[in-house]
Amino acid sequence: MTSSNLYHNSKAQWAVYAVFFIIVLAVPAVIDDSYTLNLLATFGVFAMLALSVSLVWGAGGVLTLGQGVPFGLAAYCMAMTMQMQAQTPDSPMPPFMANNSLTQLPLMWEPFKSTTTGLLIALFFPTVLWTLFGGLMFAARVHGGFVAVMTLAMLSAIGLLVLDIQPYTDGANGITPPNALLIAGHSIDPYSPTAYIIVAVALVVLAALSKALLAGKFGLVTHAIRTDSERTRFLGYNVFLYQTLLFGIAGFIASIAGCLFVMLEQYVSPAQLDVSFSVGMVIWTGVGGRASLLWAMLGALLINAGQTVVGDTLLNTWLLFLGIFFILVVRFLPKGLAGVAEWLVGFFLRRRGPAQHQAVAPAHEGG
Amino acid sequence: MGLLKITGLSKKYGAVTVLDGFNLDVTECTLRCLLGPNGAGKTTAMDMITGRQRADTGSILFDGHEIRGLREDKIARRGIGRKFQIPSVIRDLTVQENLFLAAADEVNPLRNMFRFGIGRARGRIDYVAELVGLKTRLAAAAGFLSHGETQWLEIGIVLMQDPKLLLMDEPAAGMTEHEAEKTVEIFNMLKKTHTLLVVEHDMAFVRGVADAVTVMHLGSVLAEGTMAEIEKNDEVRHVYLGTGDVADAA
Ligand SMILES: Nc1ncnc2c1ncn2[C@@H]1O[C@H](COP(=O)(O)OP(=O)(O)OP(=O)(O)O)[C@@H](O)[C@H]1O
Ligand SMILES: [Mg+2]
pLDDT in tens, A145-184: 899 999 999 999 999 999 999 999 999 999 999 999 999 8
H-run or E-run covering B155: helix B147-160
Is the CB of B85 inside a 6 Å radius of any atom of ligand 1?
yes
Q: Is B70 on the interface with A (CB under 8 A)?
A: no
* List of chain B residues whose C-beta atoms are within 8 Å of the C-beta of residue A134: none
* Distance, CA of B48 to CA of A227 (rounded, Å): 23
Name the least confident of A142-146, B15-19, B211-215.
Answer: A142-146
pLDDT tens digits for A230-276? 999 999 999 999 999 999 999 999 999 999 999 999 999 999 999 99
Interface test with A, best of B78, B83, B113, B137 (most A CBs within 10 A): B113
Q: Is B90 on the interface with A (CB under 8 A)?
A: yes
pLDDT tens digits for B157-189? 999 999 999 999 999 988 889 999 999 999 999
Cβ proximity of B221 and B26 under 8 Å: no
At A226, phi and psi to the nearest 5? -65, -40
* List of chain B residues whose C-beta atoms are within 8 Å of the C-beta of residue A215: 116
Query: What pLDDT, on a 0 to 100 scale, did the predictor assign at position B120?
Result: 87
* List of chain A residues whose C-beta atoms are within 8 Å of the C-beta of residue B113: 213, 216-218
Query: What pLDDT, on a 0 to 100 scale, did the predictor assign at position A363?
Result: 44
Closest CB from A216, A228, A235 relative to B102: A235
Within chain A, residue ranges assigned H as helices are 10-30, 34-53, 68-85, 95-99, 115-139, 145-164, 166-169, 193-215, 217-234, 239-265, 275-288, 293-310, 315-332, 336-349
Cβ proximity of A55 and A212 under 8 Å: no
**If DSSP codes are grouped into helix, strand and coil, which group holds residue B13?**
strand
Per-residue confidence band for A310, with pLDDT thresholds at 50, 70 and 90: confident
Cβ proximity of B231 and B246 under 8 Å: yes
Query: What pLDDT, on a 0 to 100 scale, did the predictor assign at position A320?
Result: 87
Interface test with A, best of B78, B92, B96 (most A CBs within 10 A): B92
ipTM value, please give it.
0.91
Give the DSSP per-residue string, A217-280. Answer: HHHHHHHHHHHHHHHHHHTT--HHHHHHHHHHHHHHHHHHHHHHHHHHHS-B-GGGG-HHHHHH
- The rounded Å distance from CA B189 to ligand 2 centre is 25
Measured between CA atoms, how close is B174 to chain A, in angstroms?
A: 21
**Ion ligand 2 contact residues with beta carbon within 5 A:** B 43, 85
Q: Is B50 on the interface with A (CB under 8 A)?
A: yes
The one-letter code for the residue type at B16 is: V
Is the CB of B41 inside a 6 Å radius of any atom of ligand 1?
yes
Q: Which ligand is nearest to the CA of B34?
A: 1
Query: Under an 8 A CB cutoff, do B141 and A236 touch?
Result: no
Name the least confident of A193-197, A360-364, B77-81, B246-250.
Answer: A360-364
- Sorted by sequence, the CB contacts under 8 Å of residue A107 that are 6+ apart come out as none
Is the CB of B7 inside a 6 Å radius of any atom of ligand 1?
no
Q: Is B109 on the interface with A (CB under 8 A)?
A: yes
pLDDT tens digits for A59-109? 999 999 999 999 999 999 999 999 999 999 888 999 999 888 888 999 999
Per-residue confidence band for B85, with pLDDT thresholds at 50, 70 and 90: confident
Query: What pLDDT, on a 0 to 100 scale, did the predictor assign at position A358?
Result: 39
Among the atoms of ligand 1, which is closest to the Cα of residue B53? 1
Query: Under an 8 A CB cutoff, do B50 and A234 touch?
Result: yes
Per-residue confidence band for B67, with pLDDT thresholds at 50, 70 and 90: very high
* Distance, CA of B207 to CA of A183 (rounded, Å): 77
Query: What pLDDT, on a 0 to 100 scale, did the predictor assign at position A357?
Result: 41
Give the pLDDT mean for A293-321: 89
* List of chain A residues whose C-beta atoms are within 8 Å of the C-beta of residue B134: none
pLDDT tens digits for B187-236? 999 999 999 999 999 889 999 999 999 999 999 999 999 988 888 888 88
Cβ proximity of B55 and B9 under 8 Å: yes
- The rounded Å distance from CA B241 to ligand 2 centre is 18
Residue in A with minimal Cα distance to B77: A236
Quote the mean pLDDT of chain B: 90
Residue B107, CA distances (Å) to A143, A218, A240, B101 in order: 22, 9, 12, 10
CATH 3.40.50.300 residue ranges for chain B? 2-86+164-248
Query: What pLDDT, on a 0 to 100 scale, did the predictor assign at position B181?
Result: 92
Is the pLDDT at A325 greater than 90? The verdict is: no
Spans of all domains in chain A: 30-274
Strand pairing partners for B35? Answer: B215
Per-residue confidence band for A361, with pLDDT thresholds at 50, 70 and 90: very low
**If DSSP codes are grouped into helix, strand and coil, which group holds residue B161?**
coil
Query: What pLDDT, on a 0 to 100 scale, did the predictor assign at position A322?
Result: 84
Query: What pLDDT, on a 0 to 100 scale, did the predictor assign at position A140?
Result: 94
Is the pLDDT at A359 greater than 70? The verdict is: no
Give the pLDDT mean for B46-55: 93
Give, using CA atoms, the residue closest to atom 19 of ligand 1. Answer: B39
Kindly indicate whether the domain formed by B2-86+164-248 is annotated with CATH number 3.10.129.10: no
